[in-house]
Structure formats: C-alpha cells, structure tokens
Amino acid sequence: MVKEIKGEKTAAVYGVTMMIVILTFFGVILYLIYTLIDNASRGNFTDNSIIQALITFATTVVAGTLINKNLERRNTKDAERNKIRNDISLKLIDLSGIALSKHRTEKEKEIAIEMIGNENIKVKLFFNDEVVLAVNSFLEKPNSQSYNLMTDILKKYI
C-alpha cells in the first residue's frame, strides 16, 4: 500500500477513497449473498445462482486472505520499527548520560559522543527531523539543556 502519506489533505483524501472502495466491495459481496439467498428461498436455484455463489465465496476468501496478510505484514513492520526506535532511543539516552556524567573520564565521554555520532546515522533512518535536530544539537553542544531537549523528544519513542 502506501508507505507514508505527507500532508493532512492527501491523507484525508486517501482515507476517504479507500473507505469508499472497501465499502463498495463489501456492498457488492453482500448483494451477491442476498440474491443467492433470495433465489434459494424462492426455489430459483439455477446454474447462474451456483456460479454466483462460487464467485461470491472465492472473492470473499481471496479478499479476506489478502487483507489479513497485508494487515499482518504491516503490523509486523510497525512492531519491528517501534522496537528499533525503542532500542536506539534508550541507547542515545544512556550514551548522552555518560557524556554528561561528572564521574566519567574525558576519554569515556569522548567515546560516548563518538558513539552518539554513530547512532545518529540510525536516527536519520528511523526518526523524523525533530529527533535528528535534537541529536545534532546535543552533538554540537553537549550540555544539560540539549540533553533535556533530546531526552524529552526520545521519550515519545520508548
């Protein structure tokens, strides 16, 4: 389907269009089922009714399977993406805490800042621009203000 929709208007139009398509599809299926039941109750069971029943059954099974697989795939991707974001967020918070710690040596602080720089590549892949700017701000000036800004933004992903 669509990976990500930019803009509220585009998302609204897409959502309404998909709802219309889905409702039309289910309307056709329900009509086929209704006419099948109506013909069976009147005793007008002909070859066309049997073909109609087979088409309805096959369409319902195929559509249900496709919808289920797409939802399952999307949910799996979302769960994996959220797990990765959670791991990156926790790692960045830990490393930035080390970089600002008074109980660490300068060498450890430098290594922590280097590791944050390495994690920044992942941040660019999995997070929005707000998080990237906060991490870059911390890398430029590692102080408590940039730390608090970064951790507040990253807490949304934990």
Torsion of the alpha carbons at 122, 126, 130 and 136, rounded to the nearest 10: 0
Q: Which residues contact 9 (CB under 8 A, 6 or more apart)?
A: none
Q: Residue written as tokens 């797990």?
A: 83
Residue 140 domain-assigned (yes or no): yes
CB-CB contact of 150 with 134 (8 Å): yes
Residue 61 domain-assigned (yes or no): yes
Indicate if 61 and 97 belong to the same structural domain.
no
> Tens-of-pLDDT digits for all 158 residues of the chain?
444 555 677 777 877 888 898 888 888 888 878 887 887 778 777 777 777 778 878 888 888 888 888 888 888 888 898 899 999 999 999 999 999 888 888 899 899 999 999 998 999 999 999 999 999 999 998 888 999 999 999 998 88
Indicate if 152 and 98 belong to the same structural domain.
yes
Q: pTM of this prediction?
A: 0.60
Range of the domain at 33: 8-73
Q: What is the pLDDT of residue 4?
A: 52
Could you say which of 73, 100, 120 is where a domain stops? 73
Indicate if 64 and 89 belong to the same structural domain.
no
Q: Which of 124, 133, 136 is nearest to 85 (CA)?
A: 124
Number of domains comprising the chain: 2
Indicate if 151 and 91 belong to the same structural domain.
yes
Indicate if 68 and 89 belong to the same structural domain.
no
Question: What is the rounded CA–CA span in Å between residue 95 and residue 127?
Answer: 18
Q: Which of 95, 156, 92 is nearest to 123 (CA)?
A: 92
